[in-house]
Every structure is written in structure tokens, then in C-alpha cells.
């Protein structure tokens, strides 16, 4: 059977591969601590679950508009107005089954042979795989130490060529947990005025998971609004990873094009999940606040523990739920550490090279796990490193 090259070489998300290996070890009776997968260990809030159940009982079993039920699109724009003070037309919102779909739509719209799309490196691996699937070239721009906190706007702008069609920005970032300083985002916006042909996709899936400062959304940049796509959803901030509910905010006629893609690919998002999403956005938010506070405490605990381990240096991430320490001082490659820590210690992590070439020398730790698990994982790593690092 002949498989097209762009399909045969499609990339993946290593976190799911490591998850499968960790689950296989656990099934054989091994004690495994998973600090690899980026999934909150909190349950979905009861009022959200109840809204989904009520929707089913009330007979909401059929198709919805392809871009989402009006109540959800209105709830999304009301939430943006409340949090960011920005006005968005509900017609700009396209509800999709998870954040990746907005990214896939953008790659299809702006990609194609000969096109270039700028992505962060290290960055979420699906950026590269979906860009390359479209036929475009993925051009990485560097995130800088400490801890990949942000980028240089000048370096990003310097990578724009006549073939550049889209720039992807992610803050707070996966895998680094870095938050781009507001001043650097302002410099980027100012510089993009010289490149009106370049659209921007801002991945703000971790927007509410910011610990030390206020999140800066590019949606507030008036000069970008006509060429800005916002990727967002409920997976991370409302502990709804398995519900598969996200959305894109699209400029002008692109919302209609994204809706046509939705019709072709999935018709509409699960109806009950959409009603649950309305409850998530319009109902009590205390569960989000509790999660953010808990993640901030776990962040402090894991950073302190990692900083005390031989051969490891760890910056303090400003958001999301990832630490991305420099492990080059151990003398091992990132992939070697990932594999040996899982097989020998039962501690699942993700090699930095899974997120791009500039991830070498780093390992991603997800602290979306309990403090008890974090402390035990650090105890296991500490013993191993004391034995293997000079």
C-alpha cells in the first residue's frame, strides 16, 4: 500500500506515547508517577457535569449549528469581555472538539507548498506536525532562558520572509511554562505593522493559569484584530481534557471559512458537551481559582526540589503547569533521561527534544499532579542522580 509521504511522516505528541508506556508499566504492577502528561488531576466541577446530564435528559441529542450553539458562543464573548474588556462578535466564534482543531484549520488555511509558518522552538509539537502536514515549512524561533520565559520580538520579526503567512504565539507556553512579558508582546505587535500579510494565531489555552502577573492577551491589540486568530478552550482551566471542547476566535470572513471546514470534518461538537461548556463559563469559578492556587503551590515545590538535584538548574515558570529545567549538567541527553527515569524509577517525564531541536538539554515536568507524587518523584530522581552524576 502506498502511503503519501506527508501522512507517513506525520509527527506526534510524545506525551501520549510516554503515557502509554507508563500505563503499561503500571499494569505490570510497577509504581509509576506520571509527570509527563499535561492533564489536571482535578475532576470537572459538579455543576458542569450536571449541565451535561441535564442537556441529555432534556432531549438535546441532535445536531447543532456547525459553529456551536448560540448560548455557548455568547457565553464565550461575555467571558472575554469580563476578563479582558474586549468586544467580540459571537459570529467570530467557531466551537471545535478541542484546541488542536483551531490549529489544524489555521494550518490548512495558511499553509500549503511554498508557505512558511513561524512556530516557537521549543514548542507544542503539534504546531510543527500540522504545519508540515499542510505542505508548509515550519520555521522555528527561539524561546530564551531562563526557562523559556519568552522570545525576542526582534528575532521573531527577523524570521519573516515574503513566504511567511502565519505566526504562532503561545503564552503561557507549553513546554516551558514561560509567560511572554507584556513589553515584548507590544514590540512584536508594533513590528508586525510592517508585515500586514502575516496573520497571527495566539494559543491562549493556558491564559488563566498565570501565577505572578496578569495575562496579556493579543486580543487587546487593536492593530492585530483584523488578522488575529485566538485558540482557547476548557481542557486546562476547567479540568475538561476528555470533554474535547475548544474554540477559535476568527477575524472577518475567516470565521465562515472555519465553519465550512467544521461542516466538512465533524458537523458539530458533541451537543451535551456544549451545554456543559455554557455552565463552565457562566457558572461559579471557584474551582478554577482553587486549581490555580494549587498549581502555584506545586510550581514552588517542584522548582525548589529540582534546583536541589545534581546537574539540574530550574527557572521559575510563570504559568501553565510545566517546569522545563536545564538538565545538561547531568551529562545525559534529554531522551536518555526520559527513558531511563521511566524504566528504572517509574517517573514519567518528557524529553525537551520532543518539543523541537532547541529543547535538547531540557526535560519537561508536568506538575498537574499531587504534591505527594511530586515529592516522591523528586526523591526517586535525587537518589538516581546522586548515583549517576559526578
pLDDT at 148 (0 to 100): 63
Helices (H), the chain: 5-8, 14-27, 46-57, 70-84, 99-110, 125-133, 153-158, 182-192, 254-265, 271-282, 286-307, 334-340, 371-388
How many other CB atoms are there within 10 angstroms of residue 62's CB atom?
Answer: 7
pLDDT along the chain (390 residues), means of 10: 84 82 89 92 97 98 98 98 96 97 98 97 96 97 77 96 98 95 96 98 97 93 97 97 97 95 98 98 97 97 96 94 96 96 96 94 96 97 93
Domains and CATH numbers, the chain: 5-44+286-388 (3.90.1150.10), 46-282 (3.40.640.10)
pLDDT at 45 (0 to 100): 98
pTM over 0.85: yes
pLDDT at 144 (0 to 100): 81
Return the C-alpha cell found at 173. Answer: 507556553
Determine if residue 68 is left, alpha or beta; phi over 0 gives left, psi from -120 to 50 gives alpha, anything else beta. left
Residues sharing a CB contact under 8 Å with residue 381, sequence separation 6 or more, in sequence order? 309, 341, 345, 347
pLDDT at 157 (0 to 100): 98
Amino acid at each position: 500500500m502506498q502511503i503519501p509521504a506527508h501522512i507517513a511522516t506525520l509527527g506526534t505528541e510524545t506525551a501520549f506515547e510516554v503515557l502509554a508506556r507508563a500505563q503499561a508499566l503500571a499494569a505490570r504492577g510497577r509504581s509509576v508517577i506520571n509527570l509527563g502528561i499535561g492533564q489536571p488531576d482535578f475532576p470537572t466541577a459538579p455543576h458542569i457535569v450536571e449541565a451535561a446530564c441535564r442537556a441529555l435528559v432534556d432531549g438535546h441529542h441532535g445536531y447543532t449549528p456547525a459553529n456551536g450553539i448560540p448560548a455557548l458562543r455568547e457565553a464565550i464573548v461575555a467571558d472575554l469581555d469580563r476578563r479582558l474588556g474586549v468586544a467580540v462578535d459571537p459570529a467570530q466564534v467557531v466551537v471545535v472538539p478541542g484546541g488542536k482543531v483551531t490549529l489544524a484549520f489555521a494550518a490548512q488555511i495558511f499553509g500549503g507548498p511554498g508557505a512558511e509558518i513561524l512556530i516557537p522552538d521549543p514548542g507544542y509539537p503539534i504546531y510543527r506536525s500540522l504545519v508540515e502536514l499542510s505542505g508548509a515549512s515550519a520555521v522555528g524561533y527561539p524561546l530564551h532562558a531562563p526557562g523559556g520565559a519568552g522570545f525576542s520580538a526582534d528575532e521573531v520579526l527577523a524570521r519573516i520572509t515574503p513566504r511567511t503567512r502565519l505566526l504562532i504565539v503561545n503564552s503561557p507556553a507549553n513546554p516551558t511554562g514561560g509567560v511572554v512579558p507584556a513589553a515584548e508582546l507590544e514590540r512584536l505587535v508594533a513590528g508586525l505593522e510592517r508585515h500586514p500579510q502575516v496573520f497571527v494565531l495566539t494559543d491562549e489555552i493556558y491564559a488563566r493559569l498565570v501565577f505572578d502577573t496578569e495575562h496579556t492577551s493579543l486580543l487587546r491589540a487593536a492593530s492585530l484584530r483584523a488578522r488575529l486568530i485566538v485558540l482557547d478552550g476548557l481542557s486546562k482551566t476547567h479540568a475538561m481534557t476528555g470533554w474535547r471542547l475548544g474554540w477559535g476566535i476568527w477575524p472577518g470572513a475567516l470565521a465562515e471559512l472555519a465553519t465550512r471546514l467544521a461542516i466538512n470534518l465533524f458537523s458539530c461538537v458533541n451537543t451535551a458537551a456544549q451545554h456543559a461548556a455554557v455552565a463552565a463559563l457562566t457558572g461559579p469559578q471557584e474551582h478554577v481559582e482553587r486549581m490555580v492556587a494549587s498549581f502555584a503551590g506545586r510550581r514552588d515545590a517542584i522548582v525548589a526540589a529540582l534546583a536541589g538535584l545534581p546537574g539540574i538548574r530550574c527557572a521559575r515558570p510563570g504559568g501553565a503547569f510545566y517546569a522545563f529545567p536545564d538538565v545538561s549538567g547531568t551529562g545525559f541527553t534529554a531522551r536518555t533521561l526520559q527513558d531511563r527515569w521511566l524504566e528504572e524509577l517509574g517517573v514519567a517525564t518528557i524529553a525537551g527534544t520532543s518539543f523541537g531541536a532547541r529543547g535538547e538539554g531540557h526535560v519537561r515536568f508536568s506538575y498537574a499532579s499531587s504534591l505527594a507524587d511530586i515529592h516522591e518523584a523528586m526523591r526517586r530522581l535525587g537518589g538516581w542522580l546522586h548515583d549517576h552524576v559526578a
